Amino acid sequence: MTTTTSSSKPGRFRELYRDILHRNRGYLWLYSALVAVCYPLLFALEAFKRVDPAEAARIQAYAPETLAQNPMYFYSFEGLGCNFAGVSIVFFLMIALLAPMILALVLNSYMHSKKASDVYHAIPVSRGTLLTANAAVGMTIVGLPLAASNLFIMAVQIAKFGFLPDVTAYLWLDALGWMICGFAIYAVTTFVSVCVGTVFDTFVLSGTLLLAAPVLSALGLTVTELFLFGWSAGVDALTFVTRLSPVTLMIERFAIADGTLGASSPIRLFGPDRLPGANLALLVWLALGLLIFLAAVRVYRRRRTEVAETTSSRGVLQALVKLAGTAVCGVTAGLIACSGSHGRTDFLLWTALIGALAYAVAEVVLNRGFKTLVRSLPLGAATVAGVVLVSLIPMTGAFGYESRVPVPEEVAAVEIGYTGRYAADISICRVEPGLPDNGGKAGRAVGYTNEVLLSSPEDLSAVEAFHRDVIAKRYRPYEGITLEPGEEYMHLGSTITYTLKNGRTLTRRYEGAGTSSIRLLAPLETSPDLLAQTHPAFFDRGQDVKKWRISDPFGAWTVEKAWPAADSQALLDAMRTDLLAQTAEDLLHPSDAPVAWVTFEADLPPEGAPRASTSGSFLVTESSLHTRAFLAEKGVLDEIAPDLDACYAVGVSGSGVRYLTTSDSAVLQVIPGRGEFTANDYDYLKENVEASRRYYAENPDVLAADFSPGEDVELDEWGNAVVQAQMAGASEVLFEDPADIAVLAAAAVPSWDTTEPVVCANFWFRGATGGTPVLLPLSRLPEDLRQRIAYPYGVPGE
Amino acid sequence: MIKAQSLVKCFGDFTALSSLDTEIHAGSIYGLVGSNGSGKSTFLRLASGVYMPDGGQVTVAGEPVYENIAVKERIFFVADDLYFLPQSTLEEMATFYKQIYRRFSDTKYKKLCTIFPLDPRQKLGTFSKGMKRQAALLLALSCEPDLLLLDEAFDGLDPVMRGAVKKLLSDDIASREMTVVITSHNLRELEDLCDHVGLLHQGKILFERELDELKLGFCKVHAAFPQGMDDAALAGLNIMQAVRTGSLVTLVVRGNSAEASDYLLRQGAVFAEGVPLTLEEVFIHEMEAVGYDYNNILF
């Protein structure tokens, strides 16, 4: 077949473009008006709002660097280009994403009318030219208002806040992004237009195609996370989902922090490190949009005109839509159905049932009737079966995914979300130099971390043992967990990422584990690698330390010191040496007693650092030779030495142990600052204990009910372990006999095995205003004291 | 001008044209008749490049039409069901076609605007069916195509306007050698306009002839025999149809009407006179001659 194109094709294209644009100028004005109201107008209202002069003067006087860093400090702008104000993001997002689809439906609607296609397909214009001219008009209608709005916003930004190169660049980069997304949406809708016969089908099919990928992926991630043990959708998966469709592509950019302005600038969900990926995604969608549009032109050239006004439930697109409808509706129903019970049978049953119903509805809608419904049943059944089978993959372990644990020999390094006993209440961050946050002395914290990278064979073996144990015990709260008596389920939120020697990675995430599994990580507590990454003594510098605080192990006496940088560094070095000298057994079952708590506050290094913390602590024991020597040399130990003779009471309780200690660590240790008490608390406790004693004496039945030790451990709705009956030792017990106090003080330990029962004790000293709890393992107490702790108001029935 | 060879067009399971062969010469005005669903409109859409053939080919001036801009530049198709751009006026439609058809003649457009009683600035949506048809023909003629394809062109036109349109078409054919293909299910509409006619039935050209040749082959004669007559008296005529109403006999015979009248007068008729055959009658007898029951085809 000879195909001839007119020699004056460009001229004809121009004329056709002008004519179509002229005929559709109404849409241009309408869209422009909508964009103007939702975008530049709202921006202008925010940019020209009244700023409280007193507040402005205050900031100018006390923190001029704040305004230098962020000229938009008083205004709430969103987006990388700081070009959206308040709800304008939502409105603009809806308008900008709907407009290309609506325009494609309108401009291509002629091919869905027999009458119109008689004219358009008979005139001497090639179908490719026709489609391209329409697309050019569509993009003009979308692009002109956006360009005009951005020019206005840029002018306002420059006039009001000065020229900010980053902001202006982002403004236009995002504009390009909107155009690319608009074009991709237009291209997809156009492709569907040329494949089907009605505007309604185009709307339904293109809408489904545009949303199917992110929605199905999100549902897939949810199902996998729900049923596949060890798998978790990370930030990468979330960004991947948003990049699957031009409809969701720009949403990710709103969530990226630009890093150039202050805290009031864009939403800081993702860091700026996501920006190159987001930009690349835009380029990929530009290429995809072009390819889809070229495919549309190619299909259109061979499209049968008589398809106009016809409907069909058959075809590749229709099959895709039915599959997507079946999967989305079925899986959503399955997820809702199993949200309470987490039952796999519930999930599968409802997925199949609602999936089948959705397929039937899609068949009827696409075919405008029931004629083909019976004939399509086999395909429908196959589709539903396919969805159910895919859902079964995560339920059945995803071909060995759940049980895969690399042996240490094939692992180069492992990153694990386990920070040990000293990082419980501190924030370890990466520090970048920048304008000071605090009087010109501190750096800027970016990228907080709670994961450590380990590579020694001992560490790898410990992680492997933990990993295998977790898999064997399969801690899924909603599936039921079998815990050993006395064991507890602890929330971890721990991610394990193995870097294998072959360069590949293997990542697993476990939300929690029993204390018996966590105990297997005890060797990490003395790992030089872990300590170097989690204990501030290894990365903070003496020159940045502002203040030291040293207290006795009971928290009764505290002294504050501000030593010179050299002394601070020496103390940090001493702590480091003592930490490295400890063994796991020293920590799990220490034979020495706690001597003092050392804590400090520090500035972040102004020149930046890969790792730093603004605070740190160290529990000095009798074995901490270097630290003790430093403190002794400074005379501090004498200042805080506790006089046990002055102790007039001890309150013991097992109920708050998990809160007061590093309970998600293999080693239990009191967290400094937690559970501080005052002298007055003694009076309250004494009063409560006596009231309880009277109550139980009068109500022996209640005593029997409250103090019958439970054996079965079950999880509450948040996955926390609870006992069915109240556990012995849950009530606070008061000891005032000096002999008892001496025994209790002698039993105090710096740390203990997380799998063994412990209680916390508050020691009240005469002359002290308060104190902090200490750890008492029950195994280190004599039987009579253990009995009194378990049954403070007498053994029921005796 | 148009040549169709083994042309096939299917709509799903239905075959609208099955191996259609025909040739329409330049400068002719070709009437295509056929019952509803016989494939007339489909043929025009194939000839105008709206449809893509499923088999065979249709060429205009020796070139395939589908997606051939140079050929389509010479063709204008006026569909049965008319379409104008939404909210447009005649003037706007003229502008639209002027940008697309290089040969659009402003002079002719203005001249035709004086012939057709239409307000160029009035929205076409407010026009009556006949006025819309006039507007479509006005625009088509303004584009000065070499090949004008008209689907049920006279549908909705009043007799005066039909006459005007026929004259305009004849003028263009005479002055520019324009070729016109016009479809209708009503032969009477075409008989004083077409020089060729073709009958389309079940997707094939069943029959096509030059109109003059067609009409010359038959004649219709009325004769009166007050005293009666024998069938033997008519034995000398090649009779296609004979109807007796009392003493009056109406005959359709092959040959010349003057010779048939003379023969009947010689057989004792007091009155014998040739009357013109309608195109429909010619078709009926011609098709019966080739073995088809015309009534089952057209009506």
* Closest of A101, A81, A84, A12 to residue A47, by C-alpha: A84
Q: Which residues of A touch B50 (CB under 8 A)?
A: 117-118, 121-122, 305
Q: Is A127 part of the contact surface with chain B (CB cutoff 8 Å)?
A: yes
Of B50, B88, B95, the CB nearest to A118: B50
The answer on pLDDT for A721 being more than 60 is no
Q: How confident is the model at residue A6 (pLDDT cuts 50, 70, 90)?
A: very low
Q: Which of B206, B176, B180, B205 is nearest to B195 (CA)?
A: B180
Which burial class, exposed, middle or buried, applies to A399 when counting CB atoms under 10 A from its CB (0-12, 13-18, 19+)?
exposed
Identify which has the larger pLDDT, B247 or A433.
Answer: B247
Taking alpha carbons only, the member of A251, A292, A252, A771 closest to residue A558 is A771
How many structural domains are present in chain B? 2
Q: List Cα–Cα distances, A556 to A579, A656, B199, in angstroms.
A: 25, 20, 115
CA distance B32 to chain A (A): 19
DSSP result, A469-508:
HHHHHT--GGG-----TT--EEEEEEEEEEEETTS-EEEE
Question: Do B166 and B149 lie in a common domain?
Answer: yes
CB atoms within 10 A of CB A77: 23
CA proximity to B192, closest of B204, B200, B184, B203: B184
Tokens representing residue A443 in the block: 């750096």
> Which pair of structure tokens corresponds to residue A720?
């926390």
> Cβ–Cβ of A4/B81 closer than 8 Å?
no
Q: Give me the pLDDT at residue A461, please.
A: 95
Among B212, B229, B256, the domain boundary falls at B212
A15–B49 CB contact, under 8 Å:
no
Q: How far is CA A710 from CA A724, A725, A760, B144, in A?
A: 6, 5, 21, 101
pLDDT, tens digit, 9 for 90 and up, residues A143-157 = 999 999 999 999 999
Banded pLDDT at B140 (limits 50, 70, 90): very high
Kindly report which listed range (A237-251, A433-447, A448-462, A678-692) carries the lowest average pLDDT score: A433-447
Question: Is there a single domain that holds both residue B60 and residue B142?
Answer: yes
Give chain A positions within 8 Å (CB) of B103.
none
Q: How confident is the model at residue A720 (pLDDT cuts 50, 70, 90)?
A: very low
Interchain contact B56–A (C-beta under 8 A): no
User: Looking at residue B168, which CATH number applies to its domain?
Assistant: 3.40.50.300
H helix or E strand, kind and range, residue B75: strand B75-78
B272 close to B248: Cβ distance less than 8 angstroms: no
Is the pLDDT at B244 greater than 60, yes or no?
Answer: yes
pLDDT tens for A153-170 read: 999 999 988 888 888 998
Whether B68 sits inside 8 A of A123 (CB atoms) is no
State the DSSP code for A38. I
By the CB < 8 Å criterion, does A12 face chain B? yes
Region of residue A625 (left: phi > 0; alpha: psi -120 to 50; beta: else) = alpha
Per-residue pLDDT, A709: 55
CA nearest to A252, candidates A295, A285, A216, A223: A285
pTM (predicted TM-score): 0.79
Among candidate residues B192, B212, B232, the one where a domain is terminated = B212
Looking at the structure, tell me whether residues B151 and B55 fall in a common domain: yes
Higher pLDDT, B274 or A3: B274
Among chain B residues, CA nearest to A20: B96
**What's residue B290's pLDDT?**
63
In B2-41, the residues whose Cβ lies within 8 Å of chain A are 11
User: What's the distance, CA B250 to chain centroid?
Assistant: 28
- Model confidence band, residue A793 (pLDDT cutoffs 50, 70, 90): confident
Distance of alpha carbon B31 from alpha carbon B17, whole angstroms: 17
Contact A12 B100 (CB under 8 A): yes
User: Which residue in B73, B76, B79 is closest to A115 by CB distance?
Assistant: B79
Closest of A512, A421, A429 to residue A470, by C-alpha = A512
Domain boundary residue among B170, B191, B212?
B212
The predicted-structure confidence for B156-215, as pLDDT tens digits, reads as follows 888 889 889 999 999 999 898 899 999 987 777 777 788 888 888 888 888 788 877 766
Place of tokens 């209708």: B184
**CB–CB of A116 and B102 under 8 A?**
no
> Are residues B45 and B175 both part of a single domain?
yes
Where residue B226 sits, what CATH number does that domain have?
3.30.70
Asked whether the predicted pLDDT for residue A527 surpasses 90, the reply is yes
Q: Could you tell me if B88 and B175 lie in one domain?
A: yes
ipTM field: 0.86
In the beta sheet, which residues pair with residue A494? Answer: A510
Six token digits for residue A334: 């399955």
Q: What percent of chain A has pLDDT over 70?
A: 90
Helix, strand, coil percentages for chain B (3-state, nearest 5): 35, 30, 35
pLDDT band at A722 (very low <50, low <70, confident <90, very high): very low
List pLDDT tens digits, range A336-382: 988 776 678 889 999 999 999 999 999 998 888 888 888 888 989 99
Q: What are the sequence ranges of the domains in chain A?
A: 9-202+230-310, 404-534, 537-640, 643-790
How high is the pLDDT of residue A178? 95
Nearest CB to A118: which of B11, B68, B77? B77
Does A304 reach chain B within 8 Å, measured CB to CB?
Answer: yes
Asked if B73's CB is within 8 angstroms of A124's CB, the reply is yes
Tell me the two tokens of residue A145: 């208002």
- Please report the residues numbered 57 through 76 in chain B whose beta carbons come closer than 8 angstroms to any beta carbon of chain A: 57, 63-64, 66-73, 75-76
Residues B206, B267 within the same domain = no
| Cβ–Cβ gap A122/B64 under 8 Å | no
Q: Which has the higher per-residue pLDDT, A31 or A275?
A: A31
* Alpha carbon distance, N-terminus to C-terminus of chain B: 30
Amino acid, single-letter form, for residue A362: A
Q: How far apart are CA A396 and CA A283, in angstroms?
A: 38
For residues B243 and B137, membership in a common domain is answered with: no
Query: Are B19 and B34 found together in one domain?
Result: yes
What is the spatial distance between Cα A665 and Cα A419, in angstroms, rounded to a whole number?
8
The pLDDT of residue A10 is 58
Taking CA A353 as the corner, what is the angle to CA A348 and CA A356, rounded to the nearest 5 degrees? 120
What pLDDT does residue A12 have? 79
- Is residue B134 located within the same domain as residue B79? yes
> Which residues of A are less than 8 Å from B66 in CB distance?
1
Give the highest mean pLDDT range of A275-284, B133-142, B232-241. B133-142
Mean pLDDT is highest, among A694-698, A720-724, B228-232, for A694-698
pLDDT at position B200 is 86
Mark whether B172 and B231 lie in a shared domain. Answer: no
Same domain for B243 and B148, yes or no, is no
Name B32's bridge partners. B183, B198
Checking if the pLDDT of A19 tops 80, the result is yes
On whether both B235 and B191 belong to a single domain, the answer is: no
What's the rounded Cα separation, in Å, for the pair A292 and A290?
A: 5
Give the range among A214-228, A708-722, B189-203, B223-237 with minimum mean pLDDT: A708-722
